[in-house]
């Protein structure tokens, strides 16, 4: 799927001390938090964040997550967390790339998949809600 600028975001961050181990390397579990930071920023950019999802009657749990650690991030390092939507019609699939802000060196790549779940019945939906699809289509049309 093509990477659309409107469906992407780049979040800069400096690795904080409380995310590292005794060797000043980011503990692997904190990368999940970095993905969430980028995902929330992307959803805010689209105007369809978790509050909007809940107000529309849906939860969007993460059902799969894949991470590939290429090089460690370290305390004080400036990093960029790129996130872009790869799929949105039957599920929300987001790809991530974490790089060193200065060199562009790849540190971690990841992907998450979320599905819409109707809050009232707790049933997973096989198609994402129409209001979500409408927002995505608007963003894509504005890019043409």
In CATH terms, the fold of domain 5-142 is Thiol Ester Dehydrase; Chain A (3.10.129)
Chain Cα centroid distance, residue 87: 12
Give the model confidence (pLDDT) of 1-10 as tens digits. 457 878 999 9
Give the model confidence (pLDDT) of 52-73 as tens digits. 999 999 999 999 999 999 999 9
The bridge status of strand 106-114 relative to strand 117-118 is: unpaired
Cα radius of gyration (the chain) = 16
Give the model confidence (pLDDT) of 80-130 as tens digits. 999 999 999 999 999 999 999 999 999 999 999 999 999 999 999 999 999
3-state class of 90 per DSSP? coil
Predicted local confidence at residue 2, as pLDDT: 58
């Amino acid at each position: 799927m093509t990477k659309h600028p409107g469906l992407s975001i780049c979040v800069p961050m400096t690795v904080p001390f409380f995310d590292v181990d005794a060797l000043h390397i980011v503990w692997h579990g904190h990368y999940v938090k970095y993905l969430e930071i980028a995902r929330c920023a992307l959803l805010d950019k689209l105007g369809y964040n978790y509050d909007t999802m809940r107000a529309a009657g849906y939860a969007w749990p993460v059902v799969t997550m894949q991470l590939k650690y290429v090089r460690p991030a370290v305390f004080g390092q400036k990093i960029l967390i790129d996130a872009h939507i790869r799929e949105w019609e039957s599920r929300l699939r987001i790809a991530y790339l974490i790089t060193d802000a200065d060199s562009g060196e790849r540190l971690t790549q990841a992907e998450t998949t979320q599905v819409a779940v109707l809050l009232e019945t707790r049933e997973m939906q096989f198609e994402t809600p129409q209001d979500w699809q409408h927002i995505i289509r608007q963003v894509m049309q504005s890019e043409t």
